Structure 1
Amino acid sequence: MARLDITETRITTDGFAASYVHTQVCNGVIIATQSGDRRIDHAARGALEDLYPDRGNTMFNVDPLGKVGGSTDWTTQQVPAACFPQHPGRAKPCSAASSEQSQPEPPMSYRITGLSHALFAPLFGKSDAELAMLGVERVIADAPSCYPDRITMRDADAGETLLLLNHQHQPANSPYQSSHAIYVIEGATDTYDAVDEIPPVMAHRLLSLRGFNTADKIEDGRVVPGAEADATIRDMLRNNKIRYIHAHNAGHGCYSGLITRA
């Protein structure tokens, strides 16, 4: 096989077209061909150095190949990780890009809130007869972990007084408009509001999580033990179509709390 002399004078034939089409990005180096115009080659080298600041830059005179009708191609064993632009015209070093890509996606943060005590304050202190006329019952908790309060989002202690009433937890003008019976501790004032925490009232119950979209229609629904709800909530909220989640007790179906992105 004849050996080409790469020191040969640059070709000036009008029909010869040199380019940077076969520029090869390798680990640690950029291999490119020269165009034949020193000014343009200098600009091209500078552009490659800006794009790949962590790599060396080698440009070859391949005119002899073009003279005999040939071209260049490259084969490498290692392929560098993709580089993503920091701003137009410049890329991050691949080592930095690879490091960032390997980092896990941050978990979706969420907020759980109870019902405002202001919704029920007018009922507090009314007589049993007055409450009965409104369809509300006063009850005394006779055992722990049996009477879930929807304001403080804890179970009432034995002996505490609660009101059992019908509450419209989904007032939206959609087919999913809904209300159901709930308990609230009479006189409760501290509305539960916490980020990335499962409240006590949910933690030991089987939950039905209903994810609603912007049209207030159910986009996704899951049934999950309260102890496993954290991961399920985060997973549901990764769906951009879900705007908020209503948590219900899966057994009795009563509303438990509102879940939104934090």
Structure 2
Amino acid sequence: MFRIHALSAAQFQPLFDLSDDALAARDIRRVTADEANSFPCRVSLRDAEPGERLLLLAYEHHAVATPYRASGPIFVRQDAAEARPAIAEVPDQLRRRLLSVRAYGEGMMRIADVVEGHAVETLVAKFFARPDVDTLHVHFARYGCYACRITRAS
């Protein structure tokens, strides 16, 4: 069994109160979704609807003292409620995309593969069958952006 984890809304909400200039000074951009299924929020784990406002910012998703330390761009919807998927629940945002799943143990990448979102459970089970894997990171394969983290669940 596994659980998918969204990012915490609290760490991003204060940023929405900043001016565009203050955001730019932090390398953050305010954007408006202009197309359905194109702006995946990492807090709500759902795509923004056209017209919704988001922030586009760099996020350090793998803050470890190894060569695999990593960050990348993410979208966060304004006023997004933090998703809390049930055990083994895969949000539609992931089901509809080609995913890159990276398996880590002690901060080091142990194995990785690409899978269509509708079949992600099979790859998750394969990776968690390895004793040297403690967490998975999911990325949207086409753009390479971090999507979410997956841990074992009992």
Do Structure 1 and Structure 2 share a fold, with TM-score over 0.5? yes
1:25 aligns with: none
The yes-or-no answer on 1:253 pairing with 2:136 is: no
The yes-or-no answer on 1:174 pairing with 2:80 is: no
Contact 2:85 2:91 in 1 (8 A): no
Contact 2:7 2:82 in 1 (8 A): no
1:71 aligns with: none
Contact 1:117 1:191 in 2 (8 A): no
Partner Cα separation in structure 1 for residue 123 and residue 70 of structure 2: 23
Shift of 1:205: 0.6
1:121-136 alignment, distance < 5 Å: 121-136=13-28
Greater Rg by CA: 1
SS at match of 1:222: strand
Shift of 1:190: 2.3
1:45-124 alignment, distance < 5 Å: 109-124=1-16
Runs of 4+ in 1 over 4 A off after TM superposition: none
Contact 2:46 2:93 in 1 (8 A): yes
Q: Structure 1 or 2: larger strand share?
A: 2
1:201-216 alignment, distance < 5 Å: 201-213=93-105, 215-216=106-107
Letter in 1 for 2:115: V
Equivalent of 1:228, from 119, 122, 131? 119
SS at match of 1:159: coil
Contact 2:30 2:53 in 1 (8 A): yes
SS at match of 1:154: coil
Taking every aligned residue pair, what percent have the same amino acid on both sides? 37
In the alignment, structure 1 segments of 5+ residues that lack a partner are 1-108
Higher RCO (Cα < 8 Å, 6 or more apart): 2
* TM-score w.r.t. length of structure 2: 0.95
Partner Cα separation in structure 1 for residue 97 and residue 149 of structure 2: 16
Equivalent of 2:37, from 142, 145, 169? 145
Letter in 2 for 1:168: E
Letter in 1 for 2:39: Y
